[in-house]
Amino acid sequence: MHLYIKENNKFINCFYSESMAGIFLAIDQIEIINKKLSANLYCHEEKISAREILDLKELLLKSDIKLINIYSSSRESVIAAKSIRMNGIFSQNNFYNFDQRVEDHFDEKDLTHFGMVRSGDQISSNGNLFIMGDVNPGAQISAKKNIYVWGKLCGVAFAGKNGDDNSTISSLYLNALQLRINKTIAIGPKEKPKNNYPEIALLEEGKIIIKPLINS
């Protein structure tokens, strides 16, 4: 599971653990910086109880961090969140390999955007670009390296602006209007994705192809 900390729309930190105990331990090490921060918990298939969520909420508040959303593909975890009036959000997507790619490629030049990218919005990164939300039709996102969308990609995405043919575009729901990697451009898929797993767009033999991001 992952705990993402942000200040407004700016990424601050991310904590990963296979258990809530590990998340609690990581939070204990957070220094109070006298800023209003918020957090989202992505617990994937792990089952967590209402008591654990309350304990997490209280522990975060000690560092002036407000817990906003609980994302999970476990119905029990979502119900537990809603039972204590927290915002539990159910998703059937397979997050594991998507998470691993995000962790493996993150560096200081990267840009993380939290929230929806609306029609008319343009977001660009000098490194990798991480979007923690949906990219609507009419929105444009670009990066010198890779693009990762933790949500629906329905706009225009341009990866590899620095001339890198090895750049990729990954999304939990890949239905882009247009995909571009370096100088190669492709129109997005005509049919909406019917799968419940992330996908990746990459260059192979001069063409942009889309593959499941499960065993990558």
pLDDT band, very low/low/confident/very high, at 92 (cuts 50, 70, 90): low
* pLDDT for residue 99 is more than 90: no
pLDDT digits (tens, 9 = 90+) for 9-66: 665 666 767 778 888 887 776 666 667 788 888 887 788 999 999 999 999 988 888 9
Query: For 9-13, 34-38, 98-102, 167-171, which range has the lowest pLDDT when averaged over its residues?
Result: 98-102
pLDDT of residue 4: 77
Q: Are residues 73 and 131 in the same domain?
A: no
8 A C-beta contact, residue 140 and residue 168: no
**pLDDT reported for residue 81:** 92
pTM here is 0.56
Q: How confident is the model at residue 186 (pLDDT cuts 50, 70, 90)?
A: very high
Structural domains in the chain (count) = 2
Which domain CATH number covers 134?
Answer: 2.160.20.70
Residues 16 and 56 in one domain: yes
The Cα 144–Cα 19 span in angstroms is 34
Do 145 and 70 share a structural domain? no
Among residues 158, 138, 154, 156, which one has the least CA distance to residue 146?
A: 158
Instruction: Note whether 77 and 124 are same-domain residues.
Output: no
pLDDT tens by residue, 104-163: 555 667 888 877 899 999 999 999 998 878 899 999 999 999 999 888 899 999 999 999
Q: Are residues 50 and 128 in the same domain?
A: no
Tell me, what amino acid is at 213? Answer: L
Q: Which of 58, 90, 122 is the last residue of a domain?
A: 90
Alpha carbon distance 123, 11 (integer Å): 15
Q: Return the pLDDT at 161.
A: 94
| Confidence at residue 215, expressed as pLDDT on a 0 to 100 scale | 47
**Residues 117 and 144 occupy one common structural domain:** yes
Answer yes or no: is 104 within a domain.
no
Residues 67 and 119 in one domain: no
**What's the pLDDT at 193?**
66
Residue 165 CB contacts under 8 Å (≥ 6 apart), including other chains: 181, 182, 184, 203
Inside any domain, residue 98: no
* Host domain of residue 15: 2-90
Shared domain for 80 and 116, answered yes or no, is no
101 occurs within a structural domain: no
Domain boundary residue among 55, 90, 125? 90
Does one domain contain both 114 and 46?
Answer: no
Answer yes or no: do 200 and 124 share one domain.
yes
In a domain, 96, yes or no: no
Structure tokens at 123: 């977001």
